[in-house]
Amino acid sequence: MKNVARRITYSLLLACAVAAIAYGFKPQPVAVDVETVSTGPMMVTVDEDGRTRIREKYIVSAPLAGRLRRIELEPGDTTEAGETLLATIEPGDPELLDSRALAQAEARVNAAAAALKQAEPHLKNARTALDFAETELGRKRELAASKALSQELLDDAEMQFKMRSEEYRSAKFAMEIATYELQQAQAAASRTNPDVDAIQDDSWNFRIDSPINGRVLRVLQKSSAIVTAGTPLIELGDASDLEIEIDVLSSDAVGIKPGDRVIIEHWGGERELEGRVQMVEPAAFTKISALGVEEQRVWVIVDIVDPPSKRPTLGDGYRVEGRIVTWESSSVLRVPTSGLFRDEDRNWSVFVVDGTKSKMINIEIGQNNGLVAEVTQGLSEGDSVIVHPSDQVADGVLVERR
């Protein structure tokens, strides 16, 4: 009986050892991460840092020679057109008031008058373009209400109206500045050759009022001093009238066009701002990157679509992050780029989970934003794609979802 029990024990131990060896040689499934191919919105963007700048800055200069009184304004002070006193110039010494100064003053009057004539047709053209854009927008809104026009075309008409509005605003500003400069030049000319006794009267002092409603950006000549005609005194601007300049790689700039949507992030507010590309400058410049590499960069100028009430604290020279949308769609078949790889023939491929095994599939992709890629052929919605496949994953390998 002892021999029988011993044999049974040895047999069981041998069977367990054989089973353990067999289990050890059995293929084990590879644990993989899986994501599902889905249909949804997708956009391709160029992401770069940018900075704000006031669209129209105005440097007030001395229109005639004389003694400048100390300027009391400080950066940040508000100004009102025609009301806020910027600076006062007292008449200089009589020997400076000669025929040459009179000729220069008359020349400045003529130049200012010519600039005003040049600004008038620009304002008329901007007004005409704005009226046309407004009419088109009204017509397309009616068509969109009756479902006869796509939302994309309506959005384009609204964008054109906003752009024409900004152009008209800029032309109107230029017209106001030209008018102001003519008035200043005429006033300066009338004081170029006064009676020597008259200049002792304070009423002969030349008053420089603000040409615009805005704020003081910089005081260029704070202290009292003898100034000549054309000396910069103070810089003004409307802090609510901002645009953004973003420098991008020249290789990215070729895919950006005026009117492209821009998402403005990390500017300090709680929500993103909306922008539109105004212009892609035609000339590039060289910039040294943080890694010491020379890069060719291009300035992209962006209009802020959101009104100033949604960005009241955003000022001149502030840092922002801009995402320039070069392509977008509301519904595309998407696959994570972390699942893409090139096969031996340099074709795009993925591993999908087919039951309990992996299967390699060649696919064709369209747009790619670095996170997801548009699938044009090879996959269907709902397919399970292996992301970040390791060297253990191959065609036909047993896999299990991690």
pLDDT of residue 100: 63
pLDDT tens sequence across 146-200: 777 787 788 788 878 877 887 887 788 778 777 877 777 776 666 555 554 444 5
Contacts for 328 with CB less than 8 Å, ≥ 6 apart: 41, 42, 43, 44, 261
What mean pLDDT comes out for the span 115-136?
Answer: 84
pLDDT tens sequence across 39-56: 999 999 999 999 999 988
pLDDT of residue 164: 83
pLDDT beyond 60 at 18? no
Q: Report the distance separating Cα 120 and Cα 351, nearest Å.
A: 66
pLDDT of residue 190: 65
288 or 162, which is more confident?
A: 288
Tell me the CB-side half-sphere exposure of residue 17, using CA atoms within 13 A. 6
pLDDT beyond 70 at 331? yes
Average pLDDT, the chain: 84
For residue 147, what are its two tokens?
A: 């479902």
Neighbouring CB atoms inside 10 A of 379's CB total 20
Q: Of 3-12, 23-32, 154-163, 233-242, which gets the smallest average pLDDT?
A: 3-12
Q: Report the distance separating Cα 389 and Cα 349, nearest Å.
A: 12
Position 137 confidence tier, pLDDT thresholds 50, 70, 90: confident
pLDDT beyond 80 at 247? yes
Q: Are strands 66-68 and 225-227 parallel, antiparallel or unpaired?
A: antiparallel
pLDDT of residue 95: 43
Q: Are strands 399-401 and 30-36 parallel, antiparallel or unpaired?
A: parallel
pLDDT of residue 7: 66
What mean pLDDT comes out for the span 116-129?
Answer: 84
106 or 16, which is more confident?
A: 106
Contacts for 13 with CB less than 8 Å, ≥ 6 apart: none
Highest mean pLDDT pick, 79-93, 153-167, 203-217, 230-244: 230-244
pLDDT beyond 70 at 401? yes
What are the residues facing 390 on neighbouring strands? none
Q: Report the distance separating Cα 156 and Cα 135, nearest Å.
A: 14
What mean pLDDT comes out for the span 373-381?
Answer: 93
3-class state of residue 21 by DSSP: helix
- Distance of alpha carbon 133 from the chain centroid: 24
For residue 234, what are its two tokens?
A: 């103070």
What mean pLDDT comes out for the span 208-214?
Answer: 86
- Distance of alpha carbon 311 from the chain centroid: 15
275 or 402, which is more confident?
A: 275
Helix axis angle for 151-190 and 99-145, nearest 10°, is: 160
pTM of the model as a whole = 0.66
pLDDT tens sequence across 62-107: 887 788 889 999 998 999 888 899 998 887 654 444 566 667 677 7
Q: Of 204-208, 303-307, 397-401, which gets the smallest average pLDDT?
A: 204-208
Q: Are 349 and 341 in contact (CB under 8 A)?
A: yes
Tell me the CB-side half-sphere exposure of residue 301, using CA atoms within 13 A. 12
In terms of Cα–Cα distance, which of 256, 329, 385 is closest to 40? 329
pLDDT of residue 178: 78
Sign of CA dihedral 162, 47, 316, 280: negative
